[in-house]
Amino acid sequence: MSFERPYEGIRVVDMSQGVAGPYCAMLLAQHGADVIKVEPRDGDWARSLGQEYGDHSAFSIAANLGKRSLVVDLKHKESRAVVDRLIAEADVFIEGFRPGVIDRLGYGHERLKGVNPSLIYVSVSGFGQAGPMRERPAMDPLLQAFTGFMSENTGADGIPHRTPLILFDMSTALYAQQAVAAALYARRDHDQGRKIDLSLMEAAAAVQAIRLMDGYREGPYHVASAPSGTFKTEDGWLQMIVVKNTEFEKLCNAVAWQSFLSDPRFESNLKRREHADFLIGEARKLFATGTTAHWQAVLTEAGVQNEKVQSYREYAEHPQAAAVESIAWLKQEGSDEAWPVPNMPGVPKLVQDDRHAISPTLGQHSREILLEYGYDDSTIDALVADGVIG
């Protein structure tokens, strides 16, 4: 155990797939835990989500850094003895199947309590363990629609849009990791396990708490300040935020809107919000007359908050990202080009070829793991031949 990797010595069996459960387990690995990813013979389905690079995709790399991969056919009758041996010595078990499926596979909470009474059992589902929608499959875009997010994420076309951020999978993972951390802390004094239930639906609601509460009371979103927003320039887009009266004054002086300073319609943010359509319309006409770089220079000099709307490539290669080492450039199996992998806040930076910076190929560590758990080579060979292990 160390300050940098406080979970050294913690063992995690990760049977989840996709993003939410795996990303939670990946965070535990970054904090030092030994995470064994138990995968079916055709692998975690996230490995084939989007563009494939050998055994990897951007989804599977980000969610599995620092883990070891063990391929097991969970439907094979001899697989349970193998997995139970891992679980008996584990601190944390993570699954992400629809409610009822994990019990049918034989790894429900009640049975695993008997295998390991001190096990912290994490169950990640789409809509939760109860209710009329409990058995429905749920990926991030569906939760964006269901929880209200898309209703307000509309473009100029007025159409509700999803965001490709995988926002609610990621927030579910963060809530799960936080819950596991608290459970591990509590277990120091009470050597007994517990079950942690999380769902994408609940995480999606929680991460939208302020807007959900306000939207429930006040209805559809209205601008919080004016003339804030995203504005088209001659060659791109610019984001500007103007909230305080002093900021509005700086903007007006910078862009020759001095007449607005004495206009009672704009004397406070409350009143500017009442006339937001007018102010935003004026801002649109103004910013269309120059380049993004021009208006950035004008607004920055005046002390008005603004930023160019950048692409991911522009951000990853930006001097500010380099200055704080926001991005680690890592090569992974399946591609010779380095991936721009964001360093996670609060843990050591990712370094090429360090085990924490490597996402395993399918079944890469199967033999290594089983040898550690007491199997000999001939037994492992027999398990492979019988199709139990990949």
- Quick check: bond before 342 cis, omega within 30? no
Return all residues near 134 (Cβ < 8 A) that are at least 6 apart. Answer: 98, 99, 125, 127, 128
Asked about 161 being catalytic, the answer comes back as no
3-state secondary structure of 137: coil
Q: Is the dihedral of CA 245, 248, 249, 250 positive or negative?
A: positive
Length of the chain: 390
Query: Which amino acid is present at 165?
Result: L
- CA separation for the pair 173, 25 (Å, rounded): 8
233 and 290 Cβ atoms separated by less than 8 Å = yes
- CA separation for the pair 267, 265 (Å, rounded): 6
Taking the mean position of all CA atoms in its chain, how far away is CA 341? 13
Annotated catalytic residue, options 109, 222, 318, 356: 222
Residue 211's nearest CA partner among 154, 149, 260 is 149
Q: What is the largest CA-CA distance in the chain?
A: 87
- CA separation for the pair 93, 11 (Å, rounded): 9
- CA separation for the pair 369, 366 (Å, rounded): 5
- CA separation for the pair 149, 167 (Å, rounded): 10
Hey, what are 99's tokens?
């409610």
The helix, strand and coil proportions of the chain, stated in percent and rounded to the nearest 5, come to: 45, 15, 40
93 and 118 Cβ atoms separated by less than 8 Å = no
User: Can you tell me which residue has the tokens 């758990």?
Assistant: 373
Q: What is the CA radius of gyration of the chain?
A: 25
Taking the mean position of all CA atoms in its chain, how far away is CA 90? 24
68 and 362 Cβ atoms separated by less than 8 Å = no
* H or E stretch covering 94: strand 92-95
Active site residues: 222
